[in-house]
Amino acid sequence: MKLSDYKKSPKEFIQGVRSDGVRVGLSTAFAPWISAFFREKHGGTWFGQGRMWAFDRSKINGAFAASLAENLPSGILYDVGQFAQKLRLALASPDPDLFAPFLDVQIFPVEGGDFVCLSRFDPLLVSTLQGLQGTFLRNRNAWRVKVALPRLLEVLETQAGIRREHIFLSDTEIVLEQHASMGEGDRPGVQVGGMVPERVGAGDAEGENAMLSVIATPMKELWINEADLAKAVQAYGLHGEYAYQEVGVRHLLRYSSCLLADDMGLGKSRQAVVAASLVTGPGAVLVVCPASLRINWEREIHIIQPDAKVVICGDGEAWSQADWLIVNYERLGAVVQAMSDGDVRFRVMLCDEAHYLKEPDSTRTRNAFLLSKHIERRFLLTATPVLNRESELHTLLRLSGHPIGAIPLSDFLSDFAGSPELRKALSERVSEWMLRRRKDVLASLKGKRHEFKYVDLATGERDQYLAAVSDNTQTAIVKIGKIRQLLERLKASWLIDTITSLGDDDKSIIFCEYTESVAYLADEFAKAGIQTVTFTGSNSGTRKQKAIDTFMSDPAVKVFIGTTKAAGVGLNLVAANYVFFASLPWTAAAKRQAEDRAYRNGQKRSVTVLMPVISGTIDEQVVLLLQHKESIEQDLLDDSVQDPGLVEEQMAAKLFNAA
Higher pLDDT, 211 or 421: 421
* Per-residue pLDDT, 636: 63
Q: What is the mean pLDDT of residues 32-41?
A: 81
190 vs 174: CA distance, rounded Å? 38
* Per-residue pLDDT, 580: 96
* Per-residue pLDDT, 461: 84
CB 157 within 8 A of CB 179: no
The proportion of the chain whose per-residue pLDDT surpasses 70, expressed as a percent, equals: 85
Residue 192: pLDDT over 70:
no
Task: State phi, psi for 334 to the nearest 5 degrees.
Answer: -65, -35
Higher pLDDT, 422 or 192: 422
* Per-residue pLDDT, 658: 40
Residue 517: pLDDT over 90:
yes
* Per-residue pLDDT, 418: 80
- Looking only at the bridges linking them, the beta strands covering 105-109 and 52-56 are unpaired
* Per-residue pLDDT, 411: 87
* Per-residue pLDDT, 553: 94
Q: What CA–CA distances, in Å, run from 590 to 187, 470, 521, 583?
A: 18, 30, 21, 12
Residue 390: pLDDT over 60:
yes
Q: What CA–CA distances, in Å, run from 544 to 50, 185, 353, 562, 567?
A: 20, 41, 19, 10, 9
Confidence band, pLDDT 50/70/90 cuts, at residue 18: very high
Q: What CA–CA distances, in Å, run from 546 to 79, 135, 295, 534?
A: 40, 49, 12, 10
pLDDT tens column, 372-385: 988 999 999 998 77
Query: Phi-psi category of 323—alpha, beta or left, where left has phi over 0 and alpha has psi -120 to 50?
Result: alpha
* Per-residue pLDDT, 654: 42
Question: Which domains occur in the chain, in start order?
Answer: 14-92 (no CATH), 103-178 (3.30.780), 226-440 (3.40.50.10810), 446-639 (3.40.50.300)
* Per-residue pLDDT, 317: 81
Q: Measuring CA to CA, which residue among 123, 178, 626 is closest to residue 360?
A: 178
CB 517 within 8 A of CB 485: yes
357 vs 351: CA distance, rounded Å? 9
Residue 657: pLDDT over 50:
no
Higher pLDDT, 307 or 201: 307
Confirm whether pTM is higher than 0.85: no
Could you tell me where the beta strands, DSSP code E, fall in 90-207? 105-109, 115-118, 135-138, 142-145, 167-169, 175-178
288 vs 350: CA distance, rounded Å? 6
pLDDT tens column, 108-121: 888 777 899 988 88
Confidence band, pLDDT 50/70/90 cuts, at residue 652: very low
Could you tell me where the beta strands, DSSP code E, fall in 480-536? 508-512, 531-535
Q: What is the mean pLDDT of residues 530-539?
A: 92
Q: Measuring CA to CA, which residue among 387, 448, 438 is closest to residue 574?
A: 448
Residue 499: pLDDT over 70:
yes
* Per-residue pLDDT, 388: 66
Higher pLDDT, 248 or 592: 248
Helices (H) and strands (E) in the chain, counts: 24, 24
Most confident of 27-41, 311-325, 518-532: 518-532
* Per-residue pLDDT, 188: 55
Q: What is the mean pLDDT of residues 148-172?
A: 88
* Per-residue pLDDT, 477: 80
pLDDT tens column, 131-158: 999 988 865 668 999 999 999 999 999 9
Task: Look at 253-262, 416-425, 555-564, 565-574 and tell me which has the smallest mean pLDDT.
Answer: 416-425
* Per-residue pLDDT, 424: 85
* Per-residue pLDDT, 549: 93
* Per-residue pLDDT, 138: 66
CB 164 within 8 A of CB 396: no
607 vs 596: CA distance, rounded Å? 9
Confidence band, pLDDT 50/70/90 cuts, at residue 215: low
Confidence band, pLDDT 50/70/90 cuts, at residue 562: very high
Task: Look at 187-191, 461-465, 598-602 and tell me which has the smallest mean pLDDT.
Answer: 187-191
Residue 315: pLDDT over 80:
no
* Per-residue pLDDT, 386: 72
* Per-residue pLDDT, 509: 97
* Per-residue pLDDT, 358: 81
Q: H-type helices in 439-491, by residue range?
A: 459-470, 476-490
Most confident of 151-160, 198-207, 534-543: 151-160
Confidence band, pLDDT 50/70/90 cuts, at residue 342: confident
Higher pLDDT, 344 or 47: 344
Confidence band, pLDDT 50/70/90 cuts, at residue 638: low
How far apart, in Å, do the first and last CA atoms of the chain sit? 35
Radius of gyration of the chain (CA): 26
Residue 425: pLDDT over 80:
yes
* Per-residue pLDDT, 189: 54
Residue 633: pLDDT over 80:
no
Q: Please, what is the average pLDDT of the chain? A: 83
350 vs 370: CA distance, rounded Å? 14
Q: 530 by DSSP, 3-state: which? A: coil
Higher pLDDT, 9 or 120: 120
* Per-residue pLDDT, 106: 85
Q: CA angle 345-103-134, nearest 5°?
A: 110
* Per-residue pLDDT, 451: 83
- Looking only at the bridges linking them, the beta strands covering 324-328 and 508-512 are unpaired
* Per-residue pLDDT, 1: 40
Higher pLDDT, 37 or 362: 37
pLDDT tens column, 566-607: 999 889 999 999 999 999 998 888 898 899 999 988 888 889
Q: What is the mean pLDDT of residues 278-299?
A: 89
Residue 321: pLDDT over 60:
yes
* Per-residue pLDDT, 587: 82
